[in-house]
Amino acid sequence: MSTQKIAVVTGAGSGIGRAVAVELAASGWSVALAGRRAQPLAETAELAGGDTLPVPTDVSDPASVTALFATVQDHYGRLDLLFNNAGTFGPGGTPTEELTHADWQSVVNVNITGAFLCAQAAYRRMKSQSPQGGRIINNGSISAHAPRPHSIAYTTTKHAMTGLTKSLSLDGRPYGIAVGQIDIGNAATDMTARMRTGILQANGELAVEPVMDVRDVARTVRHMADLPPAANIPFATVMATNMPYVGRG
């Protein structure tokens, strides 16, 4: 029986997804790289080395998600880990009353529907394979606990991610499917570049916020992924030490 561990990482073309894919590949995982654009996935594969499989995917499209997991099954024969990472913030700084329905829906389609579709497909593979089981790690956010100003779509979807994680964890018990969530605060990626120049605070002021190395997030995901089947981390928070989250800022 092969001992090779197989992972799917969504949103693998940049940021946290790329860092996690590189970390997993470096520690011996085979990694299917999912993302909308082929070129960034190819760049991730080159950075990661090891056994990687770029699969261009739109996680909000059921047919595209089905094709992703069918490709992984055909190529590797099983699935041990899904890092459910793909996400979008949407138009930043838009007040609630000005957010368009289209912008709201685009965030919901990726952050909630996309996460559900990928988890559902992973469930089907993990339930039917032998040996049965696997692990899903959802990318939540500090925004799953507390919002930033003018972030209603992103914050709502990240609160929903917590409910998704809990339901998946409960439903996965009979099949050996462990489910956890990592809530990340201020990892240094393109998505958080504005935090280094000044971002709106709850009191209406602009302030520069500390960030942390994205590789520290990747190492935490790898630790969660490498746990034995009998152990799980339901929720983990990894954040820049001095970011304004704990207490009053």
- Report residue 99 as tokens: 């957010």
Specify whether 154 is catalytic: yes
CA atoms within 13 A on the CB side of 91: 12
Q: Which of 76, 154, 175, 245 is catalytic?
A: 154
Q: Report helix angle 15-26 to 214-225, nearest 10.
A: 50
Are the C-beta atoms of residues 178 and 232 closer than 8 Å to each other?
Answer: yes
Rounded to an integer, what distance in angstroms lies between the CA atom of residue 208 and that of residue 47? Answer: 30
Rounded to an integer, what distance in angstroms lies between the CA atom of residue 62 and that of residue 45? Answer: 24
Closest CA to 236 of 187, 184, 192, 195: 184
- Report residue 169 as tokens: 């964890």
Within 8 A by CB and 6+ apart from 198, the residues are: 206, 207, 208
- Supply φ then ψ for residue 118, to 5 degrees: -70, -40
Closest CA to 67 of 7, 141, 169, 75: 75
Within 8 A by CB and 6+ apart from 28, the residues are: 5, 50
CB atoms within 10 A of CB 199: 20
Residues assigned a catalytic role: 154
